[in-house]
Amino acid sequence: MEARLRAALARAEEVARALSDPQVTSDPARIKALGREHTHLLPVVRTADRLKKAQDDLAQAREMADSGDPDLAQLAEADLRELPGQITTLEAELHELLLPRDPLDDRDAIVEVRAGTGGDEAALFAADLLRMYQRFVQRRGLTVEMMSLSDGTSGGVKEAVFAVRGADAFGLLRWEAGVHRVQRVPATENQGRIHTSAATVAVLPEAEEVDVVIHPNDLKIDVFRSSGPGGQSVNTTDSAVRITHLPTGLVVSQQDQKSQLQNKLKAMEVLRARLLDRMIAEQEAARSRERRAMVGTGDRSAKIRTYNYPQSRVTDHRINLSVHNLQAVIDGDLDEFITALRMASRQERLDD
């Protein structure tokens, strides 16, 4: 830990100097990247300072206790009782802060929720997941920007795409990617039988233009009229946009914004994120080793979590964690899962 701490403190000094460099301050992209790094390193610096002070205070208390002066020894008693525990706690905090961190974690995130198998019940479950994530990120002080929403019947959701903006957005949500399964009695079920339905969640790091280069000749852009539920036209102009990335076949449609330009910009944002996600997935697949913690690839085909309503149980299958407070989870209390998954991933990186 000492070597990682020295490196982190040295890097914190470099970042602080760079942030005051006039050549750097004139580069918005560079300032944004350094600002993210500074936000991550600042808790390391502060915790290291607190740890050093506690260690110095403990050394001074021991000197006082060994001085042979009864009055000084009495003054040192409280510090000798309390400081070792404080130092242990601070060392654990610092160890957590120094665990390897993916630089993508600080990115904004684009989240896609889609109804899977199960018909109307799957669409209702997708709507539940959408509300769950909205409540979770709002509790964390992040903002949600809805990019597109396709309603299903009976209040369900066929597909929702939204951006989550704020510090550590992708880092908080990245492990939610995969197939979510629900077991419950649907509202339309007359005989009380439990049905199993599913929804898929994709979580993409927002791509910056320097991450993914998209050549105009690689794009096919179609425009059409926006439509509402049931196919009714809600716009008399061709404001909706469909972008096809010819080399990969990826298709993004956007119609929720007011103008064709706004729809095009949003569609390009989603396309960049999907291309970056694809590039990351290919890099992961190229690695010869297998993932031990089963949380490193965000495999879309894997069933990652089950929400069992009859038993009020939520189980994450990647880390074998079950909690019996389903309603709280659906209301956005994902902290226990997020913390456990992040720790599993960081420990895996540390073991490598």
Q: Could you tell me if residue 46 is inside a domain?
A: yes
| pLDDT score, position 349 | 64
**Domain-embedded: residue 236:** yes
Beta bridge partners of 164: 109, 144
CA separation for the pair 338, 33 (Å, rounded): 24
Tokens of 349: 């990186």
DSSP-derived secondary structure for 1-27: -HHHHHHHHHHHHHHHHHHT-HHHHT-
Q: Is 274 in the same domain as 157?
A: no
Query: Do both 223 and 177 map to the same domain?
Result: no
Whether residues 178 and 138 share a domain: the answer is yes
Q: Are residues 176 and 49 in the same domain?
A: no
Of 83, 98, 113, the position where a domain reaches its end is: 98
The confidence score (pLDDT) of residue 24 equals 79
Buried b (16+ CB within 10 A) or exposed e, 139-151: ebebebeebbebe
Task: Give the residue from 228, 253, 285 where a domain finishes.
Answer: 285
| CATH classification at residue 84 | 1.20.58
- Write down how long the chain is: 352
270 falls within a domain: yes
What type of residue sits at position 228?
G
160 falls within a domain: yes
The whole domain housing 276 covers: 216-285
The CATH number of residue 246's host domain is: 3.30.160.20
pLDDT of residue 321: 94
Residue that finishes a domain, picked among 285, 318, 334: 285
Closest CA to 103 of 170, 197, 13, 24: 170
Same domain, 271 and 123: no
Tokens of 234: 């809600």
Q: What is the distance of C-alpha 300 from the center of its chain?
A: 15
Give the whole-angstrom CA distance, residue 199 versus residue 52: 49
Distance from C-alpha of 111 to C-alpha of 252, rounded to nearest angstrom? 14
- 241, containing H or E segment: strand 240-245
Does 302 lie in the same domain as 175?
A: yes
The position carrying tokens 């479950």 is: 125
Q: Do 275 and 152 belong together in one domain?
A: no
For residue 221, list its beta bridge partners: 243
Take residue 35 and report the two structure tokens written for it.
């600002």
Residues 131 and 188 in one domain: yes
- Could you tell me the end-to-end alpha-carbon distance of the chain, in angstroms, rounded to an integer? 15
Contact, 210 vs 107, CB < 8 A?
no
Which residues is 201 bridged to in the sheet? 113, 178
What is the phi/psi pair of residue 276, to 5°?
-65, -40
Same domain, 143 and 83: no
Q: Are residues 237 and 193 in the same domain?
A: no
Rounded Cα–Cα distance for residues 209 and 299 (Å): 25
pTM for this prediction: 0.69
pLDDT along the chain (352 residues), means of 10: 86 88 81 83 93 93 86 86 92 82 84 90 94 95 91 87 91 92 82 87 82 87 71 58 92 87 90 87 56 37 86 94 96 93 75 60
Q: In whole angstroms, give the CA distance from residue 175 to residue 173.
A: 6
pLDDT given at position 287: 42
Give yes or no for a contact between 326 and 308, defined as CB atoms under 8 angstroms apart. Answer: yes
Tally of structural domains, the chain: 3
| Amino acid in the structure at residue 299 | D
For residue 26, is it within any domain?
Answer: yes
Q: Are 347 and 204 in a shared domain?
A: yes
Sheet of 240-245: strand order equals 219-224, 240-245, 250-254
290 part of a folded domain: no
Burial of 352 (C-beta count, 10 Å sphere; 0-12/13-18/19+): exposed
Q: Is residue 251 part of a domain?
A: yes
The answer to whether 169 and 108 have CB atoms below 8 angstroms apart is yes
DSSP assignment letter at 193: -
Q: Which of 182, 195, 201, 210 is nearest to 314 (CA)?
A: 182
Provide the phi-psi class of 112: left if phi over 0, else alpha when psi is between -120 and 50, else beta: beta
Q: What is the pLDDT of residue 86?
A: 93
Task: Flag whether 291 is in a domain.
Answer: no
CATH number at residue 161: 3.30.70.1660
Q: Are residues 203 and 109 in the same domain?
A: yes
Q: Give the per-residue pLDDT at 283.
A: 67
